[in-house]
Amino acid sequence: MTKRALITGITGQDGSYLAELLLSKGYEVHGLVRRSSSFNRGRIDPISEADPEAGKRLHLHYGDMTDGVSLVNLVRTIEPHEVYNLAAQSHVKVSFEMPEYTASADAIGTVRLLEAIRSANLECRFYQASTSEMFGATPPPQGESTAFYPRSPYGAAKLYAHWVTVNYREAYDMFAVSGILFNHESPRRGETFVTRKITMAVARIAAGLQDELVLGNLDAVRDWGYAKEYVEGMWRMLQHDAPETFVLGTGVGTSVREFCQTSFEHVGLDWQKYVTHDDRYERPTEVDALIADPSKSRDVLGWEAKTHATDLARLMVDADVEALVTER
């Protein structure tokens, strides 16, 4: 039997890697996309171009996490065996400027989707894209039983989504999984997240196209892994014999400053000559340090991060250098 999966957020970083993974496993993949006046399928169109046969099993549907009717109709039409809820307003700084929209898309959007599945009476496994931002001010290491203390409207919205996922698991016996993922990056990372902002700037500075990189807090510590590896962890969570909560991370903390240093050094430059500071990239409340305790995922799912921050910085710089060459 061909398994059907529905991915919300398929046009994003993780959605595109997950779609590739599921197609490679023989799934029929359905993706929710929102209408945009400009092109927003740059990460997923190459999937069908690279493998037209797999592309025939990839179907896109318009909808929005803030529009419950579209979710109900989609779930009833597709009758998916697995739903991966990756759609979100995922930028922490932006969530301070758009707290209400962030809550609607990230928190209420999740319960809209859970209700769509429940009301359709489907035997369907559900994955919720939870985040280490929910730990916020609680010091590392952070694992499945660490206390939550979100520090942004984004973190608070995701915490609601996490708890409502747990509640639907307990109240309705749904196979509802919460994957608490620490930061994961790639050459497909959005350009306003700090790693990609750095690696793109490094490529442009090395090519003589830019002479400065303006950043905010360099002291923040994050546990950066490689997105391509993390989508395998999401899939494994839904293949496990019971619905649970799992943390994915590398277990290694790296500061923004260190990530900068590694990225600039990779092209033979001294970061201190190019990086300047502007308060506009600081947040009203910051999350100082996120470092995972990923032991449960290793022991139960056999999942382990292979790529850590140093190699990640190098591979992202290489990709951005290469992209500039192709562009020119």
Using only C-alpha atoms, what is the Rg of the chain?
19
Token pair belonging to 67: 């529009």
Residue closest to ligand NAP, measured at CB: 12
Determine which residue in the list 8, 16, 70, 90 makes contact with ligand GDD, applying CB under 6 A: 90
Q: For residue 93, state whether it binds ligand NAP (rule: CB under 6 A).
A: no
154 tagged catalytic: yes
Any idea of the CA torsion for 303, 186, 134, 173, to the nearest 10 degrees?
-50
How many Cβ atoms are within 10 Å of 224's Cβ, its own excluded?
Answer: 27
Least distance from ligand GDD to the Cβ atom of residue 213, Å: 8
- Contacts of 192-195 with CB under 8 Å at 24 or more apart are 192/91, 193/91, 194/256, 194/259, 195/224, 195/259, 195/312, 195/313, 195/316
Residue at 95: amino acid letter: S
Single out the segment in contact with ligand NAP by CB under 6 A; choices: 84-92, 164-172, 261-269, 274-282.
84-92
Least distance from ligand NAP to the Cβ atom of residue 206, Å: 25
d(CA 197, CA 214): 9
Contact partner at residue 194 from ligand GDD, ligand NAP, none, CB < 5 to 8 Å by partner kind: ligand GDD
Least distance from ligand GDD to the Cβ atom of residue 52, Å: 32
Compare residues 13 and 263 and give the one whose CB is closer to ligand NAP: 13
Determine which residue in the list 5, 6, 14, 157 makes contact with ligand NAP, applying CB under 6 A: 14
Residue at 12: amino acid letter: G
Residue at 198: amino acid letter: I
The pair phi, psi for residue 280, each rounded to 5°, is -65, -15
Compare residues 4 and 222 and give the one whose CB is closer to ligand GDD: 222
Determine which residue in the list 95, 132, 297, 310 makes contact with ligand GDD, applying CB under 6 A: 132
Residues linked to residue 7 through DSSP beta bridges, in sequence order: 31, 84
Residue 327 near residue 284, CB atoms below 8 Å = no
Compare residues 122 and 313 and give the one whose CB is closer to ligand GDD: 313
Residues linked to residue 317 through DSSP beta bridges, in sequence order: none
Q: Which residues, 6 or more positions from 216, have their beta carbon under 8 angstroms from its beta carbon?
A: 277, 278, 279, 280, 281, 282, 283
Q: Could you give the string, one character per residue 176-195, with x where binding to ligand NAP holds by CB under 6 A and - elsewhere?
A: -----x-xx-----x-----
133 tagged catalytic: yes
The pair phi, psi for residue 35, each rounded to 5°, is -70, 135
Contact partner at residue 317 from ligand NAP, ligand GDD, none, CB < 5 to 8 Å by partner kind: none
Compare residues 207 and 296 and give the one whose CB is closer to ligand NAP: 296
Site for ligand GDD in 208-237 (CB under 6 A): 215-217, 220, 222
d(CA 200, CA 190): 11
Token pair belonging to 229: 């590896």
Contact partner at residue 281 from ligand GDD, ligand NAP, none, CB < 5 to 8 Å by partner kind: ligand GDD
Determine which residue in the list 203, 234, 247, 256 makes contact with ligand GDD, applying CB under 6 A: 256
Tell me which of 131, 146, 245, 250 is the catalytic residue.
131
Q: Active-site positions? A: 131, 133, 154
Site residues, ligand NAP (CB under 6 A): 8-9, 11-15, 32, 34, 36, 40, 64-66, 86-90, 105, 129, 131, 181, 183-184, 190
Q: Which residues bind ligand GDD (CB under 6 A)?
A: 90, 92-93, 131-133, 182-183, 192-194, 197, 215-217, 220, 222, 256, 281, 283, 286, 290
